[in-house]
Amino acid sequence: MRRLITTNMTEIKLTVQAPTLVNRDFVKPTLCGPGPCDVWPSVNEALTKPVISPICDEHFYVLDDIRAGLKYVFQTNCDTVLALSGSGHGGMETVINNLVGPGETLLVAKRGFWCERALEMAKRYGINTITTTVPMNETFSLQQLENELRKHRPTALFIVHGDSSTGIVQNLKSVGELCQRYGTLLLVDTVVSLVGVPFFMDDWKIDAVYTSTQKAFSGPAGISPVAFSDRALNKINNRTHQPPFYFDVKLLSQQWNCYGSTRVYHHTLSSPLLWALRQCLQEVIKETLPRSWARHAATTKHFLKRVEQLSLKTFVPKPEDRLMTVTTVVLPKGYDYLQFSKYMREKYNILIFPGIGQTVGKTLRIGLMGVNSTIQVADAVADAVAGTLIALKKSSL
Amino acid sequence: MRRLITTNMTEIKLTVQAPTLVNRDFVKPTLCGPGPCDVWPSVNEALTKPVISPICDEHFYVLDDIRAGLKYVFQTNCDTVLALSGSGHGGMETVINNLVGPGETLLVAKRGFWCERALEMAKRYGINTITTTVPMNETFSLQQLENELRKHRPTALFIVHGDSSTGIVQNLKSVGELCQRYGTLLLVDTVVSLVGVPFFMDDWKIDAVYTSTQKAFSGPAGISPVAFSDRALNKINNRTHQPPFYFDVKLLSQQWNCYGSTRVYHHTLSSPLLWALRQCLQEVIKETLPRSWARHAATTKHFLKRVEQLSLKTFVPKPEDRLMTVTTVVLPKGYDYLQFSKYMREKYNILIFPGIGQTVGKTLRIGLMGVNSTIQVADAVADAVAGTLIALKKSSL
């Protein structure tokens, strides 16, 4: 490439000199925390596909493909389905601020770290927040939720389907019907559950849902799929409050051509993330959803068996409450969770996480998701846990 | 990979069947619109680097490198420098909602499409908006800005440095001093100017700035560098309003360790976009900022000469007001801008854009940026423009 130089510019004095960025080599660990997860090889390739420009047909085809794939993974026939240009936290904020306005009430089924985030977000918009809670390692009963809905008749109920901070999956069957009975919209976090655990947006009458791509999707973070029911859409079309421009689903659904008539420019989408998400969806379609769910269940059940053989306890007592993507494991007295995780990385190059929020010092968080949801990886992690138990017993107990 | 199947799950009946996503081949055009631009080969490679996890040292090194590189390209010694997980529009919204609260006043120097966006965003937060305007192809004088600042003493002034909708670069020298005199914060859009055009955050006393990576950076969209002055930081620390959680620079600067003491988890950053941005910065550092500015100026001046030889007019009359990344060209009477752009793509596989907003039907928008800022690409585009002028004259005039 020929680079022309005009001398006057190169003589400009800079205030800040160029830094030196050192290229450090590192051996990537196997990512077996609650996320980010390793990516599918095909998704890694997809990241380098040609840049697509927002005014070209190629761009529109990719958006249409993504919407079709998302309808499949969310199991919905609703039209308001798209991917937000941001992380899962962006999805969380979008679902809340599009559906609940200042002065309206959001009931949060509070357990684990992510509900705290939802509460913090809601308060920033002047939303009245109410919480109902359960012990960290239990799920909400329909009865408890109904009592709160009856008492407060909130605009919306926020609940987490798969909770990576506690390793719990919340049974959502009948929660949607309950919400409809009390005129409440049902908002669901599926960041760490979707594609790994059965989920049926339409059948379960869920009004708004968001997820992330760096968990069971085995893709890169930075793009957050969201879906809204027709009830939710009705609220969006008739609300009096205005969400932030960047998160406004009314505008985003026009950019994503959700209703088959508009391709209105809203912001520039990230080409590599679009290609990557499309490829994640191709992987799910190739395997099929039921087989993906079955694989995650089989892998995690195998891992749980291995953990039991090591005489370790799982943090979640009831088998039916255990999340099949992220497992929480309790160490015997005397072990330090942070030290344990560090040793796993240093000795075995396997990355697992200690607890977060309420679960700090109470559990390890081990994710077997997406490309890492295999018996081989489960065995490798279990072997490393066994080795670490012995090594740290000698040195620290 | 061995995939275990438990039969009960694979027998679950799906509501929505798997779609077929057709893999379509297409020949990517040379991207010579106002963005997205083509990416550096090294940046494309960087997209596939190993996933880095938010609790690992490798992750922190990358964030530190990015901050060092951003301080260089923004030419600032301020500490509140980081990259937002979103597009340039996310950067725009962040800069506004972190610094201007409900009931406070934002003065918008209104010319072109992006100012309309800034106004739309500001209104959503209950901010009082005031505008001052100039003809589409002119810049603001200090006198005009001072009159408005004196009259309204706004909390902040929003102004666009490089405007891709009109092809204008706004001289910002002394605007910062002026703003300080009236107690006003200066917010600047450098989406299409940074790295391509000289910019000095500290010298010009700018309080908040954001940019995009898919323009002169020649990287992927989806991550938006932002920087805040100490005056702006003071406002952030003492404001009474709360911006959206996702955009809160107070929290983000803790995640990015802006002040050397915290690595607080806020949201999961996009690993490929972090690697890509780091590599974009490596490219600028390798070339140096002054040489990058000089190359963009030389390329665009060469292109302007070629355009004049075709007897075409530029949309911006004064040479010093012309943006050296995106050039706006006026076609002779009788040509249709949309048809012209389409023909350029179909015949020459070069993507240029027609006008947007106020400039629809008034100009072509041709970007020679980043990896495409070379004499060869400029000549190829000029040759294609010449050919299209002849072809469409025969067929349509």
Per CB-CB distance under 8 Å, the chain B contacts of A265 are 356
Work out the minimum CA distance from B53 to partner chain A, whole angstroms. Answer: 6
Instruction: Give residue B141's pLDDT.
Output: 98
d(CA A354, CA A341): 6
Instruction: Give residue B3's pLDDT.
Output: 46
Running along chain A, 397 residues long, what does each successive block of 10 average in pLDDT?
57 92 91 97 97 92 98 98 98 98 98 95 98 97 98 98 97 98 98 98 98 98 98 98 98 96 92 98 98 98 98 97 98 96 97 95 98 98 98 72
Per CB-CB distance under 8 Å, the chain A contacts of B44 are 48
Sequence ranges of the binding site of A for substrate: 365
* Cβ <8 Å between B290 and A39: no
Instruction: Give residue B1's pLDDT.
Output: 41
- Cα-Cα-Cα-Cα dihedral sign, residues A30, A32, A37, A42: positive
B211 within 8 A of B95, measured Cβ to Cβ: no
**In this structure, what DSSP letter does residue B245 have?**
G
d(CA A158, CA B258): 33
Q: Which residues sit opposite A259 in a β-bridge?
A: none
d(CA B45, CA B275): 9
Per CB-CB distance under 8 Å, the chain A contacts of B7 are 294
How many Cβ atoms are within 10 Å of B387's Cβ, its own excluded?
14
* Chain A to chain B Cβ contacts (< 8 Å): 333
- Dihedral (C-alpha) B318, B319, B325, B327: value to the nearest 10 degrees? 60
* Cβ <8 Å between A36 and B24: no
Query: Which residue type is seen at B224?
Result: S
Instruction: Say how many CA atoms lie within 13 Å of A366 toward its Cβ.
Output: 32
Interface with chain B: mutation pick from A17, A22, A53, A114, highest number of B CBs within 10 Å: A53
Phi, psi of B162 (to 5 degrees): -110, 125
E strand spans, chain A? 30-31, 80-84, 105-110, 128-133, 156-160, 162-163, 168-169, 185-189, 208-210, 224-228, 313-314, 326-330, 350-351, 353-354, 364-367
B352 within 8 A of B312, measured Cβ to Cβ: no
Tracing tokens 């499409």 back to the chain, one arrives at B113
Closest CA to B324 of B164, B189, B201: B164
* Cβ <8 Å between B5 and A267: no
* B394 has a chain A CB within 8 A of its CB: no
Q: At what angle do helices A113-124 and A88-99 cross, to 10 degrees?
A: 50
Q: What is the CATH number of domain B41-286?
A: 3.40.640.10
Instruction: Give residue A2's pLDDT.
Output: 42
Low-confidence ranges of chain B (pLDDT < 50): 1-5, 396-397
Q: Which of B18, B121, B281 sits opposite A288 (nearest CB)?
A: B18
Of chain A residues 292-331, which have a CB less than 8 A from chain B? 293-295, 297-299, 302
> 3-state DSSP call for residue B342?
helix
Interface with chain A: mutation pick from B9, B340, B351, highest number of A CBs within 10 Å: B9
* Cβ <8 Å between A90 and B200: no
Of chain B residues 324-383, which have a CB less than 8 A from chain A? 345, 351, 353, 356, 374-376
Phi, psi of A189 (to 5 degrees): -90, 120
Work out the minimum CA distance from B132 to partner chain A, whole angstroms. Answer: 22
B397 within 8 A of B357, measured Cβ to Cβ: no
Of chain B residues 116-175, which have a CB less than 8 A from chain A? 117, 120-121, 123-125
Closest CA to A184 of A246, A241, A109: A109
d(CA A222, CA B272): 9
* Cβ <8 Å between A72 and B17: yes
How many Cβ atoms are within 10 Å of A18's Cβ, its own excluded?
17
B56 within 8 A of B269, measured Cβ to Cβ: no
d(CA A196, CA A374): 12
* Cβ <8 Å between A87 and B269: yes
d(CA B31, CA A56): 11
d(CA A228, CA A201): 9
d(CA A255, CA A360): 41
How many Cβ atoms are within 10 Å of A299's Cβ, its own excluded?
27
The complex scores an ipTM of 0.96
Enter the tokens of residue A231.
């009830």
Phi, psi of B22 (to 5 degrees): -80, 130
> 3-state DSSP call for residue A138?
coil
Q: Which residues sit opposite A80 in a β-bridge?
A: A228
H/E stretch holding A357: none
B204 within 8 A of B172, measured Cβ to Cβ: yes
* Cβ <8 Å between B19 and A77: no
Q: Where are the domains of chain B?
A: 30-38+289-396, 41-286
Closest CA to A33 of A389, A302, A336, A370: A370
Work out the minimum CA distance from B313 to partner chain A, whole angstroms. Answer: 24
d(CA B97, CA B145): 22
Closest CA to A78 of A174, A187, A198, A208: A208
Phi/psi zone of residue B356: left (φ > 0), alpha (ψ -120 to 50 degrees), beta? beta
Sequence ranges of the binding site of A: 365
CATH fold label, B30-38+289-396: Aspartate Aminotransferase, domain 1 (3.90.1150)
B251 within 8 A of B242, measured Cβ to Cβ: no
d(CA A29, CA A324): 22
* Cβ <8 Å between A203 and B281: no
Instruction: Say how many CA atoms lie within 13 Å of A375 toward its Cβ.
Output: 9
How many Cβ atoms are within 10 Å of B162's Cβ, its own excluded?
28
